[in-house]
Structure 1
Amino acid sequence: MPLDTLASPAPPREPILTLPGALTAYVGLLAAIHIIRMLLPVDLEYWTIEVFGFIPKRYDQTLLSMPFPGGNGAKVWTFVTYSLLHANLSHIGFNVLWLLPFGSALARRFGAVRFFIFMAVTAVAGAAAHLVTHEHALAPMIGASASVSGAMAAAIRFAFVRGSFLSFNRGDADEAARVPALPLLRALRDPRVIGFLAVWFGVNIIFGVGSIAIGAEGASVAWQAHIGGFFAGLLLFSLFDPIPRLQRTGSQTSSRDMSDLH
């Protein structure tokens, strides 16, 4: 009589795409706000854009200045709240699509509190860049693209140290997202970082996928806000990063190569 063989238990299956809780909450917030706005009457929907969108004209100190809904408070909160509004489904879809890989790595590395503060800070930087370049513009700017750009810039500080953080396996993604980051000047000498920067700037200048300015002349791309958020993420990353910087030692150079993550 043949002996029954005991099959080894199958390894637990993981979801195809695992997102950290902070990123899931952020995307859920963007989606919930957009759904609520879609259900509002047209007049009230646009009122929310005027109150929470970023309008450079709101800060005009000339005799041609005009009142806007929200008063002085809106001059403060719209530096952040504009990043939570989107023009349409394709607008929010593009931002979420770019955010999923880079935002996941950043949320895993920073934790929830640092991640949310970082997204707010890069939104402020994007609004400031837009204000400087559109001093008297009346069209509201909305969209999370400045924050998404900041997350992308921060992620490249550690993305190429040992392979890539883009993995469908939660354990690999957690490990890759927590590798020590390169100092900024060293990172900027990495050909892969330079290549990424070239592609990113090219995409934004040529196609301008991201933040939308809504006005009488239709929609246009606020690419200056993208650049403001990107540089803020690149330069301020170290202030948020809880992982000590990379120190090249023999043990690190002999550590497992993670280039098979994709």
Structure 2
Amino acid sequence: MTEPSGQPGEDQRQPIFNLPGSITVLIGVLWAVHVAASLALDQYGLGNLRIWFGFIPDRFVAASQWPGGAWPLLWSGFTHAFLHVDYTHLIFNSAWLAIFGTPVARRYGAGGLLIVFLLGALAGALVQAAVTVLIVPQFAVLIGASGGVSALTGAAMRFIFEPVVVGRHPETGEIVPLGRRTASLGGVFANGRTRTFILFWMGINVVIGLAPMVTGSNIAIAWEAHIGGFVLGLLLPSLLDARRRR
């Protein structure tokens, strides 16, 4: 005889990965784009895909030398986040997205997740352009979700290490958790755990930026985009909290 729901014997196994639907969909889109491009395009086609949808700072100063001129700058600040160099690059960004995108999605919903991810990608691209065009002129093509993922990491830093706010249930009077408070920008650096994480994260990216000069490696990691996205992510929860209250 079948036992009633909730009784002993019922299969109450939980999924190994309990990700919000918006995170699952976003990761699925990243994988779908990469797999489809890898299967459908040869090296020439992949090159054209990156020229048209990757972010190329050189378009700001030499647009006439590129297909489409300056027009791709209108969309490539966002679309570069959906392209990846290889599966290792994609796996790393997917894992980081799952870890730090999940608390942002649960707090602000799918809309808030996309706002942080896309604006972070744009901020990362603009910082990359500022560095590679104005400060240390060099050629670069930016692809990858790192700027958007870094923004989600920065946004999460505003609340994941903060204390839980509690209140009374209006009907039962029980004490119930209401969620973690959002720290002020000053409060972020007053919190020891948050400060340690940010300093470690920034330090890693500075090392990444200096490594090619020391080792002579040709591997380029867009540390500028990481920092640009992260800083914007730190700022956005103030706006998202105001949006949520409205």
Q: TM-score, normalised by structure 2?
A: 0.80
- TM-superposed CA distance for 1:77, in Å, is 0.2
Q: 1:118-142 deviations in whole A, cap 9, x for unaligned?
A: 2111111001100100115433111
Superposed CA RMSD in Å reads 2.3
Alpha-carbon distance in 2 for matches of 1:183, 1:14:
36
Aligned to 2:237: 237
- TM-superposed CA distance for 1:243, in Å, is 5.6
Equivalent AA in structure 1 for residue 92 of structure 2: F
Greater shift after overlay, 77-86 or 93-102?
93-102
- TM-superposed CA distance for 1:177, in Å, is 9.8
Equivalent AA in structure 2 for residue 17 of structure 1: F
Q: What secondary structure, in the 3-state scheme, does the structure 1 residue paired with 2:64 have?
A: coil
Aligned to 2:16: 16
Q: 1:80 aligns with which of 54, 78, 81?
A: 78
- TM-superposed CA distance for 1:67, in Å, is 3.0
Structure 1: where are the runs of 5+ without partners? Answer: 1-6, 164-174, 209-216, 245-262
1:115 equivalent to 2:116? Answer: no
Equivalent AA in structure 1 for residue 98 of structure 2: L
Aligned to 1:158: 159
- TM-superposed CA distance for 1:12, in Å, is 2.5
Q: What secondary structure, in the 3-state scheme, does the structure 2 residue paired with 1:19 have?
A: coil
Equivalent AA in structure 1 for residue 125 of structure 2: A
Q: How does 1:130-149 map to 2 (within 5 A)?
A: 130-135=128-133, 137-149=138-150
Equivalent AA in structure 2 for residue 100 of structure 1: A
Equivalent AA in structure 2 for residue 240 of structure 1: L
Task: Check whether the contact 1:105–1:177 (CA below 8 A) recurs between aligned residues.
Answer: no
Equivalent AA in structure 2 for residue 79 of structure 1: G
Aligned to 1:172: none
Q: What secondary structure, in the 3-state scheme, does the structure 1 residue paired with 2:194 have?
A: helix
1:70 equivalent to 2:68? Answer: yes
Aligned to 2:27: 27
CA distance 1:218–1:176, shift in 2 (3 Å): farther
Alpha-carbon distance in 2 for matches of 1:85, 1:27:
12
Q: What secondary structure, in the 3-state scheme, does the structure 1 residue paired with 2:139 have?
A: coil
Give the count of matched residue pairs.
Answer: 216
Structure 2: where are the runs of 5+ without partners? Answer: 1-6, 165-175, 210-216
Q: 1:96-137 deviations in whole A, cap 9, x for unaligned?
A: 121211101111111111211221111110011001001154
Q: TM-score, normalised by structure 1?
A: 0.75
Q: What secondary structure, in the 3-state scheme, does the structure 2 residue paired with 1:134 have?
A: helix
- TM-superposed CA distance for 1:179, in Å, is 2.0
Flag the structure with more relative contact order, 1 or 2, with Cα contacts below 8 A and sequence separation at least 6. Answer: 1
- TM-superposed CA distance for 1:74, in Å, is 0.4
Q: 1:13-54 deviations in whole A, cap 9, x for unaligned?
A: 221221111111110111011111112111011100000011
- TM-superposed CA distance for 1:94, in Å, is 1.1
Task: Check whether the contact 2:60–2:70 (CA below 8 A) recurs between aligned residues.
Answer: no
- TM-superposed CA distance for 1:9, in Å, is 5.2
